[in-house]
Amino acid sequence: MNRMPKALVLSLCSISASYAQEAATTSAPPAPGWVAYHRPNEDERRCANYSKQAWSVALNSDKSGIVISKYDRESYRHVIKVRDGRLVGEDNGEWGGGLWWISQDGRSRKRLSRENVYGFVKTSTAVLIITGLRHMGANEGDVWRYVDRPGQKKRAEHLVDLGWAPFAFTQDSPDAVLVLTSDGFVRVHTSGRLETVYRIVYGILYPGSIAISPNGVIHAGMRHFVTRLTPSAGTYKDEWFVPANCAQFTQQKYDCVCTGATAND
């Protein structure tokens, strides 16, 4: 790997610090210990890709703000209860996944799909299944609906093609789920309608969680950064934030190292 000249690294750090301080004067952070940052350039994104810090976002108890915590994907297996048992989904990446129905006593099971399952959403009318694959040239995602009607076989019914692989998702109404894909945010309705919400490409920052507040503000947690998307004039204003103690950072081989904090940290 080519290493950047020391003078260039110092210059980038200086620019990063000035941008962070300028942004901090115009935007309130989403949580204590965080500061505003400019939209990262290609070098900063590449550094963040190697960061050992990744963040998860969630609404607080009264949904008035968000809580930011360290992201740790606990499992590649997902389970949800259904009428007469449970659905179990697995995501094994390029090795394939699967979706199974398993009876309450565990004695009966049926494989419903071989897709990689990212998770489930229980809507007012059905359980939705988010699937996808990001690997090498593959970048694909779909939403399925679990069907279990009297007199019909249990099955996963295809609802909509996302067009891109999903990164994260959250239910934002009784009948819809907000999905962050490789190409941005879309909303999937239980009717099968796909609504484009906002195009933003996070790419190698690998967002792992999103949260949407009652007033429509969206937060996304990813490697090194948290972003906030605020509805504005029919679109969204996107803002970027970093930990106050890591407002300056640089790449050192296969690591992204904090080199400084904000002046008032």
User: Does 25 score more than 80 pLDDT?
Assistant: no
165 lies in some domain: no
| Alpha helices (H) along the chain | 6-24, 42-49
pLDDT at 70 (0 to 100): 94
Q: Does 249 fall in a domain?
A: yes
Q: Identify the residue whose tokens are 């939403």.
A: 143
Least confident of 94-98, 144-148, 187-191: 94-98
Q: Give a yes or no: residue 143 inside a domain.
A: no
First-to-last alpha carbon distance for the chain, in angstroms, is 33
| pLDDT over 60 (residue 165) | yes
Residue 166 lies in a domain: no
Query: In the prediction, which pLDDT does 259 show?
Result: 93
- Of 1-10, 173-182, 211-220, the poorest mean pLDDT is in 1-10
> Would you say 242 and 248 are in contact if contact means Cβ atoms under 8 Å apart?
no
Task: Find out whether 180 and 220 touch, Cβ atoms under 8 Å.
Answer: yes
In a domain, 66, yes or no: yes
Domain encompassing residue 226: 1-73+208-265
Give the confidence band of 55 by pLDDT, cuts at 50, 70, 90. Answer: very high
Distance, CA of 86 to CA of 171 (rounded, Å): 20
pLDDT range class, residue 74, cuts 50, 70, 90: low
| Closest-CA residue to 167 (of 127, 202, 135) | 202
Question: In percent, how much of the chain has pLDDT > 70?
Answer: 88
Q: Is the pLDDT of residue 1 over 80?
A: no
- CB contact set of 231 (below 8 Å; sequence gap of 6+): 215, 216, 217
Q: Is the pLDDT of residue 7 over 70?
A: no
> What pLDDT, on the 0 to 100 scale, is given for residue 62?
93
Mean pLDDT (whole number) for 117-128: 96
Residues 6+ positions from 99 with CB-CB distance below 8 Å: 87, 88, 89, 90, 111, 112, 113, 114, 115, 117, 129, 131, 144, 156
Q: For the chain, what is the domain count? A: 1
48: in domain? yes
Answer whether residue 186 is part of any domain: no
Residue 111 lies in a domain: no
Name which residue leads in pLDDT, 76 or 251: 251
